[in-house]
């Protein structure tokens, strides 16, 4: 009987030693890496150089396209696997990742997409959206659409969620405020024929860095929500250049006269006059693509398609 406690203690020590040895030999679980935020270095595709940069006020109109197979499952420029069923997009120069609000100017549909890839590398396209994005925007079957792309935010994923402020200890320990009078609450029945409104999804949870730049992560449920805006008539143009001196714009317009009738449009941006050289308005994307190729063939590599409301 005296030996029993000693034997039990020895067994317990043996089990503890075995358990400790097992923990030492077990491999730690892999840490799931999050995508790193990056602006990116200049890069070249098909002889064209692209220069990624921070663009806090990015707001551009143009032509969108979409991509699916055979890119599904391949690595994106951010190092993630491309999933054509997710709400993502490719952009040539925005930082990765960024959230952009894309509006189909032809039907008013609007969604938020997460930019995690580079492209499109086709002249006249400003953004490539995933197949799911094209379906929700309503141009999956058509292939292209006139769109507006606006930067919602851009910043590191792991710094994007706002941290809730801690409640001071005095407030935690304090008594809740007491109402001064009797409080009566009741629910009113909806009027006849009315339907109960569903709660709207939260668009984003965000915080501002010390530099003042907005950093927000859009929740997947909110990104999947489609808004529909009023439709305004749009016009397609090919913009060959923009100048601060009218003489330079006039020379370029004369140079392009053999390609197509070009005109000089005078606009003011932040008080500064600009003289844009444009071809159009053009009837559709096919005609705009054809005109763009002719302008580029005449040595104007930075010409692009614009959509004007």
User: Is pLDDT of 184 > 60?
Assistant: no
Query: Does residue 192 lie in a domain region?
Result: no
Q: Which residue has the higher pLDDT, 4 or 152?
A: 152
* pLDDT confidence bin for 19, thresholds 50/70/90: very low
* pLDDT confidence bin for 260, thresholds 50/70/90: confident
Q: Calculate the CA dihedral of residues 286, 288, 291, 297 and round it to 10 degrees.
A: -90
Measured on CA atoms in the order 221, 129, 104, 216, is the torsion positive or negative? Answer: positive
Mean pLDDT of 12-40: 53
Number of domains in the chain: 2
Assess contact for 55 and 93: CB atoms under 8 A: yes
Beta-strand pair 59-67/127-130? parallel
In the prediction, which pLDDT does 16 show? Answer: 46
Is residue 54 located within the same domain as residue 146?
Answer: yes
In the prediction, which pLDDT does 182 show? Answer: 57
Per residue in 71-99, pLDDT (tens digit) is 999 999 999 999 999 999 999 999 999 99
By the 10 Å C-beta count (0-12 exposed, 13-18 middle, 19+ buried), 129 is classed as buried
In the prediction, which pLDDT does 203 show? Answer: 40
* pLDDT confidence bin for 193, thresholds 50/70/90: low
Strands (E), the chain: 43-45, 48-50, 59-67, 88-90, 98-104, 109-117, 127-130, 144-154, 205-208, 214-217, 227-228, 235-243, 262-269, 272-282, 304-308
In the prediction, which pLDDT does 20 show? Answer: 44
- Taking the C-alpha atoms of residue 50 and residue 56, their distance in angstroms, rounded to an integer, is 18
Per residue in 119-168, pLDDT (tens digit) is 999 989 999 999 999 999 999 999 999 999 999 975 544 443 333 444 55
Q: Calculate the CA dihedral of residues 294, 300, 301, 305 and round it to 10 degrees.
A: -60
Which of 158, 184, 212 corresponds to the end of one domain? 158
φ, ψ at 195 (rounded to 5°): -110, 145
In the prediction, which pLDDT does 309 show? Answer: 84
Query: Does residue 163 lie in a domain region?
Result: no
Three-state DSSP class for residue 255: helix
In the prediction, which pLDDT does 300 show? Answer: 92
Determine the structural domain holding residue 144 and report its residue range.
Answer: 43-158
Which of 95, 127, 158 corresponds to the end of one domain? 158
User: Is pLDDT of 25 > 90?
Assistant: no
User: Is pLDDT of 37 > 90?
Assistant: no
In the prediction, which pLDDT does 275 show? Answer: 96
- Taking the C-alpha atoms of residue 251 and residue 254, their distance in angstroms, rounded to an integer, is 5
What tokens were used for 166?
């801690």
Query: Does residue 71 lie in a domain region?
Result: yes
Q: Which residue has the higher pLDDT, 166 or 64?
A: 64
In the prediction, which pLDDT does 191 show? Answer: 56
DSSP code at position 87: S
Query: Does residue 82 lie in a domain region?
Result: yes
Which of 104, 123, 158 corresponds to the end of one domain? 158
Domain CATH code at residue 304? 3.30.70.1070
């Amino acid at each position: 009987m005296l030996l029993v406690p000693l034997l039990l203690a020895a067994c317990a020590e043996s089990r503890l030693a075995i358990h400790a040895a097992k923990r030492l030999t077990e491999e730690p679980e892999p840490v799931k890496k999050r995508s790193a935020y990056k602006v990116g270095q200049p890069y070249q595709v098909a002889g064209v150089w692209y220069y990624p940069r921070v663009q806090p006020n990015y707001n551009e109109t143009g032509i969108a396209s979409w991509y699916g197979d055979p890119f599904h499952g391949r690595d994106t420029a951010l190092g993630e696997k491309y999933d054509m069923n997710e709400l993502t997009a490719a952009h040539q120069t925005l930082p990765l990742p960024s959230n952009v609000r894309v509006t189909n100017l032809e039907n008013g549909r609007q969604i938020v997409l997460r930019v995690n890839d580079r492209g499109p590398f086709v002249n006249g396209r400003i953004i490539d959206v995933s197949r799911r994005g094209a379906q929700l925007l309503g141009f999956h079957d058509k292939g292209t659409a006139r769109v507006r792309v606006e930067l919602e935010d851009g910043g590191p994923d792991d710094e994007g969620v706002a941290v809730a402020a801690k409640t001071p200890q005095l407030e935690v320990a304090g008594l809740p405020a007491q109402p001064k009078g009797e409080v009566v609450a009741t629910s009113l029945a909806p009027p006849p024929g009315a339907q109960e409104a569903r709660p709207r999804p939260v668009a984003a949870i965000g915080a501002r860095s010390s530099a003042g730049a907005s950093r927000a992560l859009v929740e997947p449920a909110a990104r999947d929500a489609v808004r529909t805006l009023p439709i305004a008539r749009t016009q397609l143009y090919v913009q060959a250049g923009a100048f601060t001196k009218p003489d330079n714009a006039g020379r370029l317009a004369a140079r392009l006269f053999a390609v197509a009738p070009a005109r000089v449009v005078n606009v003011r941006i932040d008080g500064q006059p600009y003289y844009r050289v444009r071809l159009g308005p053009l009837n559709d994307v096919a005609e705009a693509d054809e005109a763009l190729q002719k302008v580029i063939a005449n040595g104007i590599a930075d010409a692009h398609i614009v959509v004007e409301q």
